[in-house]
């Protein structure tokens, strides 16, 4: 969903960057467990694991470079949860090159991993609030990982052949909004917090998981996805209108 805060990241202190790198490297353990179990279950070639590790490596590099200075060294408890959730996301993302998994029991395996990743979405926020470590970076980190998960799920639905390529639009609203912001800088301005956006993100994830469920008729899944897409577009339209209206008021 659209960003609700703006933040100019600062590099973490030199003495804390080593701990951040170590914690990100530790994320390879759950990644290899999840991706390794997937590879064994479906007899996937070695390049599946290599793809998952390479994608996680790019992710870890981005986190390391963008993480601002923290009151305590390391990622912080909430960001560690988000990184752990990222290992599930990259386990799923690597399956895009192996659509043969998307049949029979493979659907349920993917649904299980996706459901776990979606359920963990609220955990990092709760941890941040309970430990007093909430930050603009953490909120943005969580949101961007959510957006990528939605894009991955939409692409998996498409690769499964259950729904045509239009389903990719259900995973792309956030990225289309960002692209619009490059054309109209005003759209990059902060937005007030709204429960509507969180509800939209939940509906988006549920709709995509339902599209992967083999027990749900394709027509019904596609109809639910289409309705969700319309609602998401409406939500983004409300935000765009708010941003543009406030731009005029400030002039």
pLDDT of residue 150 exceeding 80, the answer is yes
Count Cα atoms within 13 angstroms, Cβ side, for 240: 16
Question: Residue 169 has what pLDDT?
Answer: 96
Q: Tell me what percent of the chain is helix, strand and coil, each rounded to the nearest 5.
A: 80, 0, 20
Q: What share of the chain in percent tops pLDDT 70?
A: 90
Summarize pLDDT for 187-218 with one digit per residue, the tens. Answer: 888 888 888 888 999 999 999 999 999 999 99
- The lowest-confidence range among 5-9, 69-73, 111-115, 165-169 is 5-9
At 156, is the secondary structure helix, strand, or coil? helix
Mean pLDDT value across residues 22-30: 95
Question: Residue 251 has what pLDDT?
Answer: 56
Q: Which residues contact 194 (CB under 8 A, 6 or more apart)?
A: none
Domains of the chain in sequence order: 14-250 (1.20.120)
Q: Which of 181, 217, 249, 147 is nearest to 6 (CA)?
A: 181
pLDDT of residue 14 exceeding 60, the answer is no
pLDDT of residue 85 exceeding 80, the answer is yes
Mean pLDDT value across residues 122-126: 87
Question: Residue 250 has what pLDDT?
Answer: 60
Other CB atoms within a 10 A radius of the CB of residue 28 amount to 16
Question: Residue 186 has what pLDDT?
Answer: 87
The per-residue DSSP string of 66-113 comes to: H----SSSSS-HHHHHHHHHHHHHHHHHGGGG-GGGSSTHHHHHHHHH
Instruction: Work out the pLDDT band at 125, boundaries 50, 70, 90.
Output: confident
Q: Nearest 5°: CA angle at 55, between 179 and 79?
A: 80
Q: Which residues contact 16 (CB under 8 A, 6 or more apart)?
A: 69, 70, 73, 74
Instruction: Look at the pTM and tell me if it is higher than 0.85.
Output: yes
Mean pLDDT value across residues 98-119: 95
CA distance 147 to 60: 17
pLDDT of residue 157 exceeding 70, the answer is yes
Other CB atoms within a 10 A radius of the CB of residue 108 amount to 13
pLDDT of residue 109 exceeding 80, the answer is yes
Please report where in the chains the tokens 């969180």 appear, as a residue: 198
Strands, E, within 93-203: which ranges? none
């Amino acid at each position: 969903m659209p960003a609700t805060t703006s933040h100019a990241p600062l590099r973490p202190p030199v003495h804390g960057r080593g701990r951040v790198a170590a914690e990100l490297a530790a994320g390879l353990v759950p990644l290899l467990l999840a991706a390794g179990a997937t590879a064994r279950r479906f007899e996937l070639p070695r390049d599946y694991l290599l793809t998952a590790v390479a994608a996680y490596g790019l992710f870890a590099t981005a986190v390391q470079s963008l993480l601002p200075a923290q009151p305590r060294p390391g990622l912080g408890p909430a960001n560690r949860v988000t990184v752990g959730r990222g290992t599930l996301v990259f386990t799923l993302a690597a399956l895009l090159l192996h659509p043969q998994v998307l049949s029979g029991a493979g659907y349920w395996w993917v649904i299980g991993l996706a459901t776990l990743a979606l359920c963990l979405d609220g955990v990092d926020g709760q941890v941040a609030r309970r430990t007093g470590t909430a930050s603009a970076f953490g909120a943005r980190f969580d949101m961007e990982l959510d957006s990528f998960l939605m894009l991955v799920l939409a692409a998996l639905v498409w690769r499964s052949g259950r729904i045509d390529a239009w389903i990719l639009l259900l995973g792309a609203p956030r990225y289309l909004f960002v692209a619009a912001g490059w054309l109209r800088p005003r759209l990059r301005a902060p937005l007030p917090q709204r429960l509507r956006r969180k509800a939209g993100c939940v509906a988006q994830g549920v709709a995509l998981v339902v599209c992967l469920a083999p027990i749900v008729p394709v027509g019904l899944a596609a109809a639910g996805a289409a309705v969700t897409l319309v609602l998401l577009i409406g939500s983004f339209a409300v935000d765009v209108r708010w941003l543009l209206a406030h731009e005029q008021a400030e002039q």
